[in-house]
Structure 1
């Protein structure tokens, strides 16, 4: 009897185990679903503040993006942006990374203060963009620092002319143009049919208030970060969720990070940027400090004491007593052309010698002075021209104000504008390297300074106005003046004063490597021939 009870007890225990197993097997899917539902849905926000200048900052942001992508509880992403951009390649990578994530999870951008240049590049990767009414949006474009010209040294043997520098200076502006084209094309891709601005409008790199940005389709709505979060949840189809700031889950430990620094507190200038990436470098960046730095004219490049030893004679006098902002190396092509034509040159380094220097000279060349001509000096130069001497006036708005060169040119009815010219349709590499191919010649003039020249490229040229034009180079109708922002035909080169004065609004077109472009070299040759024409 006792054995029967033990046997019955065993049967009951085994039965209970079997029942529990079957019940567990049948209810497991329900338990699993309940367990999954116990993990709340999340909206992951990624804060992008300040600038992305170091590779470590890029890696950090990519890590946050990857976290949002791989965690199933995160159903949508909000980019919280207050950035002036940074190094170009970083924002290209961020753009493509976000576009990839947006194929599986909604991405919404919120601009809380600044989304300029690279900051907007990142915003354009999102499906939907909010901005506060007075936030700054746009500044689509790049800033590039030219590579240095590198010469061979005896101790290094390289296998090609660009092996040491890596860049051809002549083609570098075209590479910069490729960078801005990629930027604009990605903005067009990100915004699609909502974009109401042409590529040329975008390339002007203007900054718009949030309310203005909506009218041209750079953003979708004026609103706050809270609205952006609500939109992200709506796109993800969730109503019960929590907001997780991913920067708090994965802190940035890089000690030199430029993230989380206000774009208006970090003093960016070329020295700061060059310390991170020596030229050449390309940035999608905006900073008021960088703009203020770039607006300052270049200082005079001081010659060594042996300057006088380079003089070969006094056919052509080249002014250098007025703190002229150029170096001898920059005008090597001009000096070579003078010598090859059988003539001589001399530098004027002492103002007191102006009259004696011009006594037997054929031509007087004035390039980018940073000190004004006195009334007496004006009279000396005017007497020289009226005796048949030729005056060549060349300005550079990048190096000096126009006030100083106008202190001489006014006396001849010539005015160098304080603006510069640009063209958004026809240019070499960047918008202010303009093509000029329309030349007018007065039939009474006995020398054609544009002979055999079909097209030239002028770098950051100033328009010139004259009361008496014998010849002129005219831009096309799509050319803008930076100051007036008006499109029309401008004259950056004029021949005036009965064919005795040539005024040119761009010195840089005569420097390497730009002197070799199109008809620039032939134009320089014509100028030298003009100096000695009858």
Structure 2
């Protein structure tokens, strides 16, 4: 009764049962509040705090891991630093750094926040890897521990150059740099200023402990932990536990717990999940590419980041447009300059436009030719041949043609630039300098590996070098200073005509010296000019120092070049008649393909059938009554030509030419594929050729180009064969030298150099 009355009246007096219920509720509330407090600390400190807390003193752990390239990543670090700063229970902080840096602004934000944290609490770093921006962050700490083989340093800056503006008349802007933001010429100095900020941070953080000069710091070397301690870049060899103890000691803690501070809210990060997941601690240095970097922060972005050099190879190449099958010239004149782009040359009018303008003023035309067949045809009337940054090697026959051109007084201009934009993937596959040196070494010139740099005097960045030492030559007339941009040096049979100062270093030899960057070698009545840079010819770089004066001197030298016409041979001997090879004739040839040698046999089975037997293949060629090729078969394959391919139009005389085009059907394993073939031939002259059997044959030298295109497997496959064939009246074909280039969807897939010579003939 009393219980009921008390309830109804709202009495303050409770029964024993009610009191027990109230006590339970209070205990539950206290428990919930305790759990809430525990949730707060466990969320903030990311560790299970023991139920029996002896001390509320904590040494907090903050992990800096992976690349710092996205807002979500830097926001997490800012969050944990802010927690450590504001939570009074955190008495000291240990940074565990395993990072190659990242976007400059993000790195600086973390660095500046850590400086604020350091003002309030001891800050100690434990380094696994601290490169570039990772080390920038490390120097905010009071004390840095490293492992003996930790990687430390790489103090430097990376950025993509401003793009070239192609304006729109529909979308307009104010200010010449509104789109690009920076001048091409001034941007390197912006990087230099960013580097100065980085170096100043290192000097400020390390103070008098630093035993390395600013010049040495700017080299961006990577040091092992033990060496970093010796140089004052770090303080001591020690583990993470050692760093924790040191942080506690600096905070005068004798009793403390260690907790890892985590962000309160995890934010998704595509880059972190791919490269360096914050939670798992993955750190895949090298997985980040230049393309990925530019996608995250478009060019002009500045990065304090370490990327292996291999990342450049993954970069989407955007070289200047290559001019092919075109004649880009000044108004018609008597002299012509041929620019070879038949060897995958990374060159175009975009690079040579200032030289083209100066040549036009002197009534000299310029032709960009993508076929060696066309290049060679034009050399008879050319004053100069320009070969710049080829990515395919030159054959022995092509070099011989160039030698004859030089002997008649021609100029050969060789340009090589070691920068990625002038090399490209094909150049890397060819060991970069092999293609240009396949030609230059025939004349006592060799372009060196690597690039030149000068850390004391440079334009903007260390590899934009000054050249102020010149020899006496028309090319160097009135020159006092050039600036070259990522140039290489040239080894020459003479001393060259332009050299760097003795404070210039080679990136490969790491030795200083007076390096030759422009060299000239005489050959017959002509000369070879070798230059170790291309960028200095382009706008706006051509207007610095005396760069443009050099271009004008070069144009004048070309315009004054006099070349002799090819000498004519005796007309009486200039005729090859149709070879009379009876049925049963057997010829054995030696075949060399890229250094691999084998033999094959040519057999005239009948007037309508020829058989060619190779080691792993036999081909039957079937002719019509006029001797034209109608079809061929080989191991279940058959090719039928819509228009039979005719034999050469005998008699062969100098200057005779012929062309042929036809479609064809190729059957492979019962499936038909359709293609087309075109070829052009020209009798250039006559030569005596010594065959492998020791006999000498008087031959017509025929220059030819053959192109085949076939559509199969969803691709356009193309083969271009260019070279020479020597045919005699007595033995027919005696020798062939040619190059074959293979393309898939107009992308070069391979290249072969082949040489065939007659070994014996039995009639």
Match of 1:307 among 320, 326, 344: 326
**Which structure ranks higher in relative contact order (CA pairs < 8 Å, sequence separation ≥ 6)?**
1
Inter-partner Cα distance in structure 1 for 2:147 and 2:105: 27
The answer to whether structure 1 residue 117 and structure 2 residue 132 are counterparts is: yes
Question: Could you report, residue by residue, the CA deviation over 1:102-136 in whole angstroms, capped at 9, with x for unpaired residues?
Answer: 12221111112x11111111001111100111111
The answer to whether structure 1 residue 484 and structure 2 residue 509 are counterparts is: yes
The answer to whether structure 1 residue 403 and structure 2 residue 422 are counterparts is: no
Alignment of 1:451-466 (within 5 A): 451-466=477-492
After superposing the two structures, state which structure 1 stretch, 226-235 or 249-258, moved more: 249-258
Question: Could you report, residue by residue, the CA deviation over 1:416-475 in whole angstroms, capped at 9, with x for unpaired residues?
Answer: 11121111111111111111112123xxxxx42122222111111111011134x42111
Report the secondary structure of 2:471's partner residue: strand
Report the secondary structure of 1:492's partner residue: strand
Q: 1:287 to 1:88 in 2, by over 3 A?
A: same
Inter-partner Cα distance in structure 1 for 2:475 and 2:314: 33
Corresponding residue of 1:500? 527
**Residue 513 (structure 1) shift:** 2.8
Question: Could you report, residue by residue, the CA deviation over 1:140-185 in whole angstroms, capped at 9, with x for unpaired residues?
Answer: 1111111211122111222211112212111111111111121112
TM-score, normalised with respect to structure 2: 0.61
**Residue 300 (structure 1) shift:** 7.2
Structure that is richer in helix per residue: 1
Report the secondary structure of 1:164's partner residue: coil
CA contact (8 A) 1:81 1:115 kept: yes
**Residue 531 (structure 1) shift:** 1.5
Q: 1:504 to 1:214 in 2, by over 3 A?
A: same
Inter-partner Cα distance in structure 2 for 1:293 and 1:61: 26
CA contact (8 A) 1:80 1:225 kept: yes
Inter-partner Cα distance in structure 1 for 2:63 and 2:405: 67
Structure 2: 5+ residue runs without aligned partners? Answer: 1-52, 562-763
Alignment of 1:94-113 (within 5 A): 94-112=110-128
Inter-partner Cα distance in structure 2 for 1:296 and 1:425: 32
Structure that is richer in strand per residue: 2
The answer to whether structure 1 residue 422 and structure 2 residue 456 are counterparts is: no
Report the secondary structure of 2:491's partner residue: strand
CA contact (8 A) 2:61 2:94 kept: yes
The answer to whether structure 1 residue 280 and structure 2 residue 300 are counterparts is: yes
Quote the RMSD (CA, aligned, Å). Answer: 2.2
Match of 2:364 among 343, 351, 364: 343
Alignment of 1:309-388 (within 5 A): 315-388=336-409
**Residue 252 (structure 1) shift:** 2.9
Q: 1:267 to 1:312 in 2, by over 3 A?
A: farther
Q: 1:353 to 1:455 in 2, by over 3 A?
A: same
The answer to whether structure 1 residue 232 and structure 2 residue 247 are counterparts is: yes
Bigger Rg over Cα: 2
Report the secondary structure of 1:457's partner residue: strand
CA contact (8 A) 2:502 2:513 kept: yes
Corresponding residue of 1:4? none
TM-score, normalised with respect to structure 1: 0.87
Q: 1:496 to 1:299 in 2, by over 3 A?
A: farther
Inter-partner Cα distance in structure 2 for 1:483 and 1:331: 28
CA contact (8 A) 1:312 1:345 kept: no
**Residue 326 (structure 1) shift:** 2.2
Corresponding residue of 1:205? 220
Q: 1:504 to 1:305 in 2, by over 3 A?
A: closer
CA contact (8 A) 1:45 1:77 kept: yes
Corresponding residue of 1:450? 476
Q: 1:495 to 1:266 in 2, by over 3 A?
A: closer
Q: 1:514 to 1:523 in 2, by over 3 A?
A: same
Corresponding residue of 1:149? 164
Corresponding residue of 1:467? 493
**Residue 265 (structure 1) shift:** 5.9
Match of 1:222 among 213, 237, 250: 237
The answer to whether structure 1 residue 394 and structure 2 residue 415 are counterparts is: yes
**Residue 243 (structure 1) shift:** 1.3
Corresponding residue of 1:267? 287
Q: 1:300 to 1:189 in 2, by over 3 A?
A: closer
**Residue 38 (structure 1) shift:** 7.1
The answer to whether structure 1 residue 195 and structure 2 residue 195 are counterparts is: no
Alignment of 1:51-62 (within 5 A): 51-62=67-78
**Residue 354 (structure 1) shift:** 3.1
Corresponding residue of 1:432? 463
Equivalent pairs, count: 488
CA contact (8 A) 1:354 1:377 kept: no
After superposing the two structures, state which structure 1 stretch, 396-405 or 122-131, moved more: 396-405
Report the secondary structure of 1:496's partner residue: strand
After superposing the two structures, state which structure 1 stretch, 296-305 or 523-532, moved more: 296-305
Corresponding residue of 1:12? none
Structure 1: 5+ residue runs without aligned partners? Answer: 1-36, 442-446
CA contact (8 A) 2:488 2:532 kept: yes
The answer to whether structure 1 residue 292 and structure 2 residue 307 are counterparts is: no
Alignment of 1:59-70 (within 5 A): 59-70=75-86
Q: 1:305 to 1:485 in 2, by over 3 A?
A: closer
**Residue 56 (structure 1) shift:** 2.1
**Residue 415 (structure 1) shift:** 0.8
Inter-partner Cα distance in structure 1 for 2:180 and 2:84: 40
Match of 1:253 among 263, 267, 272: 267
Question: Could you report, residue by residue, the CA deviation over 1:257-316 in whole angstroms, capped at 9, with x for unpaired residues?
Answer: 52525332662112211221111211111133xx21315795876646662365755521
CA contact (8 A) 2:319 2:346 kept: yes
CA contact (8 A) 1:264 1:287 kept: no
